Amino acid sequence: MKNIAVIGAGTMGNGIAHTFAQFNYKVHLIDVSQEALDKGMATISKNLDRMVAKEKIAEADKIQTLANISTFTSIKNATQNVDLVVEAATENLALKSKIFKELDEVCNENTILATNTSSISITQIAAVTNRPEKVIGMHFMNPVPIMKLVEIIRGYNTSNKVTNTIVDLSKKVNKIPVEVNDYPGFVANRILMPMINESIETLYNQVAGVKEIDTVMMLGMAHPMGPLQLADFIGLDVCLSILNVMHDGFKNPKYAPCPLLVNMVMAGKLGVKSGEGFYDYSESKKAETVAKMFR
């Protein structure tokens, strides 16, 4: 496996492209606009600069990594003769289904199709293709170049050969693959999102403030960041989407998103990417100032 296409130049997509390129795979990075691609490449370059500054890689490694990435605005043009496609588009079933249907039509019959979905059924995505045995989940963690875990999710029809290939590939890019079964939220988000949601409920019920909730979890449970800060980092819209997938999938009220989370997303308060969530990021990307509505 030498040639890999990545769909989506956002946070997860550019991180996945960076990771494969750094290990000398030829990567085709795809997005709908050149502007999104340029932004994604700028992020990769900035992250590589940070690694050079910390002496984790040499300047020559940065140059080679960037040279390994080509950008495309056409799925058809970018996926000719690739061995693997990793889709990292928005967490939306309709969009992912549309992408996988197109991939199935334009890719070589031997191409493996992977999705970086964090909660949506692999089996459901695979069902729109004529190659369900070659569809698999590769759920990377953010930030991708740093985080070691990759959840490997088999769909109902995913073959052993494809699973073993993806497990081996994950190890080759210095990740630790963990196989999990295809249920809403898989393992990472099935456990994480209810914790984040309960933290938002705790704030909503005025048990404690933003800083206090995060401080308790950091100092009491040894979490590297508090759950509300983490929610801002992930994106409150993403958190809501994952909770909705689990709520719909399990029909269990414990996964119902907190009304405060729903209202914040409707109001466009999405966290770091919108400049405000539980914290105010207008002056710093660090969670230093609690958002005005929670002071």
Structure-block tokens of residue 221: 């449970």
* Cβ-based burial of 294 (10 A; exposed 0-12, middle 13-18, buried ≥19): middle
Contact 70, 44 (CB under 8 A): no
Give the span between the Cα atoms of 255 and 249, in whole angstroms: 10
Q: What are phi and psi of 112, to 5 degrees?
A: -85, 135
Name the CA dihedral angle for 200, 201, 206, 211, rounded to a multiple of 10 degrees.
-20
Give the span between the Cα atoms of 292 and 88, in whole angstroms: 33
CA atoms within 13 A on the CB side of 236: 29
Name which of 59, 14, 65, 62 is nearest 41 in CA terms. 14
Around Cβ 197, how many Cβ atoms within 10 Å?
Answer: 25
Give the span between the Cα atoms of 20 and 91, in whole angstroms: 22
Name which of 146, 145, 142 is nearest 235 in CA terms. 142
Which residues carry out catalysis? 118, 139, 151, 189
Give the span between the Cα atoms of 245 and 121, in whole angstroms: 9
The length of the chain in residues reads 295
Extended beta strands in 155-200, E state = 176-180
Residue whose pair of structure tokens reads 């989370």 in the numeric block: 261
